[in-house]
Amino acid sequence: MERIVILFIFVLIMFTGLNAKAENPVDLTSLITVQDVKPQDCIKVFNTDNVHLLYLTIASVNANKFKIDEIQSRMGYVLFTVANKQFLASISNVNTRQGMLKITPVDNNYYFQPGIVSNIYKYIELNLNTQLENIK
């Protein structure tokens, strides 16, 4: 009988401990492991012109809830901040039908979460065929 009571108390303590841990909010940036990212992984060519790629990059940074610090449409770059680290997304022409996006850390330290770059690329690839439209 004592063993059953002790087992019941032990199980009760385990479940209450799990519930207390589940209620604590978790910062999503801590879920992604920080690691060295290869500089060639930060460059990608897309099958769209540089203007469409600039708008898709701005939309991607915004959709990922990164803080946009500066947008320069003439030069084709977006400066944004993620987890207290600034990144520069620069867009250039490869030819008339292709644009290149290069995302680099401003401090030139490539020790960061690789999900930052891959999430931006995935968003752009998913929305690559959407047409630009003027909103009035």
Options 3.40.50.150, 1.10.1740.10, 1.25.40.340, 3.30.310.80; CATH of 29-126:
3.30.310.80
8 Å CB contact between 85 and 33: no
Domain spans in the chain, listed from the N-terminal domain onward: 29-126
Determine the Cα angle at 125 with ends 117 and 116, to 5°: 15
Residue-wise pLDDT for 67-117, tens only, equals: 999 999 888 999 999 989 999 999 999 998 999 999 999 999 999 999 999
* Alpha helices in the chain, H assignment, sequence order: 2-23, 50-63, 115-126
**Single pTM value for the model:** 0.74
